[in-house]
Amino acid sequence: MNRHQPRITLLAGGVGGAKLAAGLAAICEPGQLSIIGNVADDQEFHGLWVSPDIDTLTYTLAGRIDSDKGWGLANESNRVLDGLKRLGCDSWMYLGDQDLATHIMRSHLRQQGVRPSVIAQRIAESFRVQSNIVLPTDDRLQTRVRTPQGWLSFQEYFVREQCQPEILEIQLDGLEHATVTPEALAAIREADLLVIAPSNPIVSIGPILAVPGLGQAFALSNAVKIAVSPLIGGATVKGPADRMLSACGYSCDNVGIADCYTDLIDGLIIDHQDQSETSDLEQRGLNVMVTHTLMQHTADKARLARELLQFAQELVTVEKLAC
């Protein structure tokens, strides 16, 4: 690993992923950090293509996120959504007025045949984001959740139903036709450090690694590979990752997280509250770092990012000594 300016590629979902992305961006040089985001939560609303996780990354890195919610733009208004409601349209998916501008631009460029990866870059540039936001695929990939009510799109389950229905099965549609983007492959192949954010391993990181060719490139990379657990004290900070782990047959603890990333990571960062799980994880051949992983403020995010880089450096040194 290049000690002075390692090239870092982060695999990230929305809220949890964006927090670590912000921490890494705060301590990196412009261009040093690439983030491969999740597109399997995307859905069309009112004729517009909405890409919630990519927008959360963009708005967070631009410093424009609504920090109370962790998604959407700060200082939003919702006049368009109110108008749509008055017209009898579904309004359960909150789309603020300024946010709608992003979706209009994205949808317009998609209709013109511009590659979704290029559109994501252009939007990020307009928001003056200095890190590279990369799509894993330009093809349509969609997470679906089977509940007692039947199959739901991810947003129907997450936003409309507020994650209440029991999860019977989770499926990723579109994989057979999905091709990895050259940008994602390059971001993985050129990285000195590959990081998996504290994102939902089933519906945020899973769909990225599932893109044919991407997971293999990740596994074959010689970079140091570290994941940050999204669990603290055996529970999620927010969202349904714990129930999803159980529904997919994983234990809802850091061993379950490690099992999601078998043969993919050298090290796992876990929270102090879960310190007792260290020996089980080490027995699986993992290097473990224990620290405070809750990121509430800018300083927490940058501190965790710095500790992550230090941990990566230690792993390189250990590997060299072992040779």
Interacting residues toward ligand GDP by CB under 6 A:
12-17, 19, 53, 197-200, 204, 228-230, 232, 236-239, 241, 293-295
Q: Given the complex with ligand GDP, which of 108 and 297 has the nearer CB atom? A: 297
Q: Given the complex with ligand GDP, which of 65 and 184 has the nearer CB atom? A: 65
Q: Given the complex with ligand GDP, which of 1 and 20 has the nearer CB atom? A: 20
**Least distance to ligand GDP, CB of residue 293, Å:** 4
d(C-alpha 81, C-alpha 207), whole Å: 30
For 292, residues 6+ apart whose C-beta sits below 8 A from its C-beta are: 271, 272, 300, 304
**Least distance to ligand GDP, CB of residue 260, Å:** 12
Q: Given the complex with ligand GDP, which of 189 and 243 has the nearer CB atom? A: 243
Nearest residue to 98 via CA among 51, 64, 141, 130: 64
**Least distance to ligand GDP, CB of residue 146, Å:** 19
**Least distance to ligand GDP, CB of residue 191, Å:** 19
**Least distance to ligand GDP, CB of residue 200, Å:** 4
Nearest residue to ligand GDP, by Cβ distance, number only: 16
**Least distance to ligand GDP, CB of residue 269, Å:** 8
Q: Given the complex with ligand GDP, which of 1 and 123 has the nearer CB atom? A: 123
Q: Given the complex with ligand GDP, which of 12 and 209 has the nearer CB atom? A: 12
Q: Given the complex with ligand GDP, which of 189 and 273 has the nearer CB atom? A: 273
**Least distance to ligand GDP, CB of residue 281, Å:** 15
